Structure 1
């Protein structure tokens, strides 16, 4: 599903939907039978509910997670990019080009001084320098970059937000 086709408003989720989502976030390779058992529903219901979550744009994909050092990409960096001109054509070209480069893990279009934040992974600091020179410093639309090395990356949970959050100061 393309990002532009994601729901723009919250989708109504019941307790079963939330449980299915959480189980899939924990293990996207879980069998339908195990998903049903952990969700307290029949396997046919689990399958229908999962398909419904996909159809409604709540579940947007499944993926394999790769160890970047294991594939020779042990150096990660966050690169802040400020465009020289805020012209729609240049913005669209940059937005189309960057995520297609194999080194780019994520790209965020942001507000404030930084227009884009790129998360990339390469083999070495020399490869990082060359990448910045080849793809950013020589790009006529780029006005300024700032590169920050990533020493560690800790992922968040990524699952649904509980329907009721504890009040501030509740100690949770």
Structure 2
């Protein structure tokens, strides 16, 4: 994976031109739009739009398209962030824990971070007992884990991201 080599991401910085930014911005605002509609919105030929989208994917700029689902609507109304602190930091132990956390049912995101804590685990569960079970059955069972701290999420709001707003692009 590219992230296994320190500094490689910076070395492989991908040139993004103004049209690429317009395409990405329009996709961010309407991710389910068709290539034809996207091209029409941007005032470019559909063939150019399709080529640019393929290029953005091939260069690793456009990673994927994801379906976002409200966990509450599916019966998982309790969200939390679990802070995980490790007792030792062997590469194999960290990698094994990271993989196990990311594969745990109910886990939405896992962040490997710097600072006092080593991981942040964002989860959605049915109730407090299920939250406890994730901590006791999926996190603290790993030998490298020294401590956890669980924080309930009252509300989540998305930020604007890294793309310039439509007002700034035009």
1:159 shift after superposition: 4.3
The residue number in structure 2 matching 1:125 is: 128
Matched, 1:71 2:89: no
Matched, 1:43 2:46: yes
| Root mean square deviation, CA, Å | 1.9
The residue number in structure 1 matching 2:9 is: 8
The residue number in structure 1 matching 2:21 is: 18
1:29 shift after superposition: 1.0
Matched, 1:82 2:85: yes
Cα deviation, 1:2-56, whole Å, max 9, x if unaligned, reads 6649x71332111111010011111221011111012121001000011111111
The residue number in structure 2 matching 1:170 is: none
How many residue pairs are counted as aligned between the two chains?
A: 161
Distance in 1 (alpha carbons) for counterparts of 2:92 and 2:60: 29
In the superposition, the TM-score normalised over structure 2's length comes to: 0.87
5+ long unaligned stretches in structure 2: none
Cα deviation, 1:64-117, whole Å, max 9, x if unaligned, reads 111101111111101110111112221111011110112111111111110111
The residue number in structure 2 matching 1:169 is: none
Matched, 1:160 2:163: yes
Cα deviation, 1:123-166, whole Å, max 9, x if unaligned, reads 1112111221111233222100010000000011234258xx9x
Which deviates more from structure 2 when the two are superposed, residues 135-144 or residues 113-122?
135-144
Would the aligned equivalents of 1:83 and 1:144 in 2 still touch at CA under 8 Å?
yes
5+ long unaligned stretches in structure 1: 166-172
In the TM superposition, 1:87-166 aligns within 5 A as 87-161=90-164
The residue number in structure 1 matching 2:60 is: 57
- Which structure features the higher share of helix residues? 2
Would the aligned equivalents of 1:25 and 1:159 in 2 still touch at CA under 8 Å?
no
In the superposition, the TM-score normalised over structure 1's length comes to: 0.86
